[in-house]
């Protein structure tokens, strides 16, 4: 991350990475969704939580399972989970050995309802947090919303309350429901191929979709290599892991301790050398 990117992410809790995917990658992802469009599940208008300003004529669409789709349709999504354009940002925020928490596609047709504004810096969540310490940012669950269609100003879709990842007070209900202080929210325009990087504890949601085209966004969730929100029992790599690259397998590995500080290793090597010198 550049110094400017670090400043903006620390300040707002999100960052737009322009051109994260190439036009060819965007086209491949959209072709794969078109091929599996019959599997899109339309939600029963359950995300507005009764908000008069977020309600819509229909629910949003959810689609999953992309990593197990037949070739070539799975390939672009497998590449996306450890994309070289995106992993440097994740390493900066989550440290080495970050893990994939989840992957899904959101679709919205014109008139689709919004999503009430959830999360926030308070109350504190041990797996969803933001800290700055000793010149570095540390985050819990961190997400990428990779846009596969254009999102123009005023069309709706992903929106957030900038800076709320550092809030010291709980967000009042009327603000979460987008019924008060709407001027404080930001709806984020983006082009197909752009990715919105945001920390989960940023208060975020979606505004009703007014665009004439279908909104398509891939939500990719990550966490620190030592954290998992959904693991129980013995962890076994999925059968398709043998088809993945080393970098892709790394992000779906079991959570375990990663030694994060190379200088500690240097100190240990120095101590070992001194001890070896004394024994001679």
Which residues have C-beta within 8 Å of that of residue 232, sequence separation ≥ 6? none
In the chain, where the domains are located: 3-279
Alpha carbon distance 90, 94 (integer Å): 6
What's the pLDDT score for residue 225? 87
Count CA atoms closer than 13 A to 102's CA, side-chain side: 15
Alpha carbon distance 8, 119 (integer Å): 20
Mean of pLDDT over the chain: 93
Once rounded to an integer, what is the mean pLDDT over residues 19-31?
Answer: 98
Alpha carbon distance 215, 40 (integer Å): 13
pLDDT above 60 for 263: no
Once rounded to an integer, what is the mean pLDDT over residues 239-250?
Answer: 93
Homologous superfamily in CATH for domain 3-279: q2cbj1_9rhob like domain (2.60.120.620)
């Amino acid at each position: 991350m550049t110094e400017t990117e670090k400043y903006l992410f620390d300040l707002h809790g999100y960052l737009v990475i322009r051109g994260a995917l190439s036009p060819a990658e965007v086209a491949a992802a959209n072709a794969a969704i078109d091929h599996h469009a019959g599997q899109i599940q339309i939600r029963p208008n359950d995300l507005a939580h009764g908000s008069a300003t977020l309600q819509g004529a229909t629910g949003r669409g959810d689609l999953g399972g992309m990593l197990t789709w037949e070739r070539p349709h799975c390939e672009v999504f497998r590449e996306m989970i450890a994309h070289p354009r995106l992993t440097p940002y994740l390493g900066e925020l989550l440290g080495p050995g970050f893990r994939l928490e989840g992957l899904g596609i959101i679709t919205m047709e014109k008139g689709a309802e919004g999503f009430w504004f959830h999360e926030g810096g308070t109350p504190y969540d041990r797996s969803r947090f933001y800290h700055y310490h000793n010149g570095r940012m540390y985050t819990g669950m961190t997400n990428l919303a990779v846009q596969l269609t254009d999102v123009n100003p005023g069309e709706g879709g992903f929106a957030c309350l900038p800076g709320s990842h550092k809030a010291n007070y709980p967000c009042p209900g009327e603000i979460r429901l987008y019924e008060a202080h709407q001027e404080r929210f930001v709806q984020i325009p983006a082009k197909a191929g752009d990715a919105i990087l945001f920390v989960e504890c940023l208060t975020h949601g979606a505004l009703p979709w007014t665009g004439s085209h279908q909104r398509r966004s891939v939500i990719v969730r990550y966490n620190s290599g030592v954290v998992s929100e959904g693991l129980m029992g013995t962890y076994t790599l999925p059968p398709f892991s043998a088809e993945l690259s080393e970098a892709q397998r790394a992000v779906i590995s079991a959570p375990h301790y990663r030694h994060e500080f190379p200088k500690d290793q240097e100190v240990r090597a120095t101590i070992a050398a001194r001890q070896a010198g004394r024994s001679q």
